[in-house]
Chain A
Amino acid sequence: MRRGPLGAAIGLVTGLLVLAPVLGRGIVLSYDMVFVPDPPITGSVLGTDGSVPRAVPTELLADLLARVLPVAVVQQGLLLSVFVLAGAGAARLVPGLPGAAAAALAYAWTPYVGERLLIGHWPFLLGYAVLPWVVGAALAARRGGSLRPLLLWLAAAAAAGSTSALIATATALCVVGVRPAARFGGVLGFAAVVSLPWIVPALARPGGVPADPAGVAAFAARSDTPLGLAGSLLTLGGIWNPATVPYGRDSALAAVALVAVLAALVLGLRPVLADTPGLVAAGAGGLLLAAAGALPGLDAVLRAVVVHAPGGGLLRDGQKLLAPAALVVALAAGHAVGRLARTPRTAPWAVLLAVLPVLALPGLAWGVGGRLTAADYPADWLALRAAVAQAPPGEVAALPWGTYRRLDWAGDRVVLDPLPRLLDRRTLADDALPLSGATVRGEDPRAGRVSAGLADGGRLPDVLRAAGVRYAAVHRTQPGSAATERALAGLPVLFSSRDLLLVELPGPTASMPPNRPRVATIGLGGAVIGLAAVIVRRRPRLLRSRTPDERTGA
């Protein structure tokens, strides 16, 4: 058996262990992971409506897939592919089957995966799964092979969104190195071209992408184990949100995780450093950036970058930058297991080290300890969508005014309001991020004006009309629903069910900002042309790295 298929098989088994409770049970809704049936292609997923282009192009691609397959199949296929791709990619980077198997398991079964899965950052996870493939292709390019595979994997990372593109590009550049400069520049330039789908909307956004400085502290990595921040990050956890930490991380099992990481690094880091020093550098840099938001001194630097540098907001939730470090640890674990497996005397230690990631984090199994649930949208949600589609043109507001919901038909767990994704209509929603101790301001100035208007005691219909809203869709079972309905009492009802209410706001409304299709044309078109150039051209000079002999003229 070859290493890649073995890693894919291990990834598949781990994926099935993690996702078993939700497979075939409907759509998974968890924090920021929101999929809807028959998703409409809205301005948000195209990046044309002026919102921050977080959904571009990943959700666009998922929505297009959902045109030909049921959305639950698309979602669960994407989630399962994270484990398969991650396992196969990591396995290919380590020699020998035992080491490859260990690397696959160590990369697919991490707190990072569990925490990002629970919080719903599935595009990050796709980027995480693509990262070992990027590193493998970058390594081949550095050794004189074709650049084409690297560029194609960078395109795949860019398809997984801005954060994935950033991590993959930075890691690839570290691996290929700065010389020759043409190769470095070519990789960087191509990464920028395939990232145009989110770069163009971000640049074209009036006022840029404002970031609340409070977000740096709020979303800084924090300890999720008894080992403190350093131990939590070193064991590849440390997400800012304590609600998305897998069970067991706060127990003595964290010590098992630390032993596993230290054993892997002591026994297996040297060959990783010899093969891919750039990856180790990227891992160390990611680790430092992940900790920066919580370190005195560095937090001020990070805050300045997040607030003032274009794209700096991508560094806000720093723990996500641990992906290269996770790959370093996985490859070191693979090399360590391979080394121990060489002789029958140490083979049992190889087996133990190979399975330590699983033993240290049992809470990842079975839907991250039963906390991932799947459900089908109730019929009245689809009926509300149909009612909105039949209504005359006009923007909808999602109420009660708040960012997150608890849906009793989906396990009553916290989830981003699905209405803006569900409705085939521009939908204004609160985008502030409420936390236990503070609220991080959102980026939509119109939503901000609504929040301010309501805080000043303005009447809900008046505030919404002033923002250009014509319809109000109300979740009737959420905190604040009763007050919201009282504020809208007497207005024409277009749809009503136990859970949902749709009313039309009377009177003229202010004009809403226009869609800008040119943004999508330039962004998506540029990326497609760049990708097509790499695929179609037979032997472009840029796609071929010079061998050492060529470089020296021999």
Chain B
Amino acid sequence: MLSDERRTGERDRGQILISTLVAAVVGGLLALGASLVLVASASNTNAPPVNKPLITYDQK
């Protein structure tokens, strides 16, 4: 069975690493953007109640 080093050269590994990191950053930014959209859409439904009823552990 071939080891990682024989199957994948230094150059390949570098490219894979860079592409993985770039993808992680892009993924993070996508997550950030989507999160902000979700927050904006959810903010109306999560407004605290005006008259503050009994506070329970499972309230937002």
Interface residues of A (CB under 8 A from B): 10, 13-14, 17, 31, 95-98, 101-102, 105, 241-243, 247-248, 337-338, 341-344, 347, 350-352, 354-355, 358-359, 361-366, 369-371, 402-406, 412-414, 433-436, 477-480
Q: Looking across the interface, which residue of chain B has its beta carbon closest to that of A102?
A: B20
Q: Is the Cβ of B13 less than 8 Å from the Cβ of A97?
A: yes
> With contacts A97-B13, A402-B55 known, is A359 near B30, CB below 8 A?
yes
Whether the pair B17, A365 counts as a contact (CB closer than 8 A) is no
**A344 to B53 alpha-carbon distance, docked (Å):** 59
Cβ contact within 8 Å between B31 and A358 = yes
B56:A369 contact, CB within 8 angstroms: no
Closest-by-CB residue of A relative to B17 is A97
Q: How far is the CA of A13 from the CA of B4 in the complex (A)?
A: 27
Contact: A435 with B4, CB < 8 Å? no
Q: Output the nearest chain B residue to A245 by Cβ-Cβ distance.
A: B60
The listed residue (A247, A403, A404, A434) touching B42 by CB distance below 8 A is A247
Closest 4 CB pairs of A and B: A362-B34, A355-B27, A362-B31, A370-B39
Chain A residues whose C-beta falls within 8 Å of the C-beta of B20 in the assembled complex? 98, 101-102, 337, 341, 350-351, 354
Q: A404–B57 contact, CB under 8 A?
A: yes
Complex Cα gap A17–B30 (Å): 11
Measured between beta carbons, the chain A residues less than 8 angstroms from B59 are 243, 414, 436
Partner of B35, one of A347, A355, A370: A370
- Assess the B58–A241 pair: CB atoms within 8 A: yes
User: A414: which of B13, B15, B60 is its contact (CB, 8 Å)?
Assistant: B60
Residue pair A369, B39 in contact (C-beta under 8 Å) = yes
Interchain CB contact (< 8 A) of A354 among B23, B38, B39, B52: B23
Q: In chain B, what residue has the closest Cβ to A118?
A: B60
- Chain A residue numbers with a CB within 8 Å of B52 are 406, 477-479
Structural contact, A351 and B57, CB atoms closer than 8 A: no
CB distance from B9 to the nearest CB of A (A): 10
Are the CB atoms of B54 and A355 closer together than 8 Å?
Answer: no
Q: CA A405 – CA B54 in complex, angstroms?
A: 9
Asked whether, in the complex, the Cβ of B58 is within 8 Å of the Cβ of A243, the reply is yes
**Distance between A35 CB and nearest chain B CB, rounded to angstroms:** 19
Residues of A within 8 Å of B30, CB to CB, are: 358-359, 362
The interface residues of chain A lying within 8 Å CB-to-CB of B8 are 341-343
* Least CB separation from A352: chain B residue: B23
The CA of A535 and the CA of B24, in the complex, are separated in Å by 39
Q: Which residues of B contact A342 (CB under 8 A)?
A: 4, 7-8
Distance, CA A341 to CA B14, complexed state (A): 11
Across the A-B interface, how many residue pairs have beta carbons closer than 8 Å?
142
Task: Please give, as numbers and ranges, the residues of chain B lying within 8 Å of A97 by CB-CB distance.
Answer: 13, 17
User: In the assembled complex, which residues on chain A have CB atoms less than 8 Å from the CB atom of B54?
Assistant: 402, 434, 479-480
Contact B4 A434 (CB under 8 A): no
Q: Given known contacts A362-B38, A370-B43, A404-B55, what 7 new A-B pairs fall within 8 Å (CB)?
A: A13-B24, A101-B21, A101-B24, A358-B27, A363-B38, A366-B36, A369-B39
Give the one of A247, A344, A358 with max B CB within 10 A. A358
Residues of A within 8 A of B55 (CB): 402, 404-406, 414, 434, 478-479
A248 and B48 form a contact (CB under 8 A): no
Q: In the complex, how many angstroms separate the beta carbon of B28 from the nearest chain A beta carbon?
A: 5
Complex Cα gap A369–B38 (Å)? 7
Residues on B with C-beta less than 8 A from A344 are 12
**Minimum Cβ distance to chain A for residue B48 (Å):** 4
Name which of B8, B19, B21, B57 has the most chain A CB atoms within 10 A of its CB. B57
Least CB distance, B10 to chain A, in whole angstroms: 11
**In whole angstroms, how far apart are the Cα atoms of A405 and B20 in the complex?**
44
Q: How far is the CA of A412 from the CA of B43 in the complex (A)?
A: 13
Q: How far is the CA of A282 from the CA of B37 in the complex (A)?
A: 38
In the bound complex, what is the Cα–Cα distance between A195 and B56 (angstroms)? 32
Complex CA distance for A338 and B21, rounded to whole angstroms: 14
| Cross-chain contact B56 with A404 (CB below 8 angstroms) | yes
Question: Which residues from B are CB-within-8-Å of A413?
Answer: 48, 60
How far is the CB of B43 from the nearest CB of chain A, in Å?
A: 8
Cβ distance B14 to chain A, nearest Cβ, rounded Å: 9
**Sampled A-B contacts (22; CB under 8 Å):** A13-B25, A17-B31, A98-B13, A247-B38, A354-B20, A355-B27, A358-B24, A358-B31, A359-B27, A359-B30, A362-B30, A363-B35, A363-B38, A406-B48, A406-B52, A413-B48, A414-B59, A434-B57, A435-B56, A435-B57, A436-B58, A478-B52
Bound-complex Cα distance A480 to B31 (A): 40
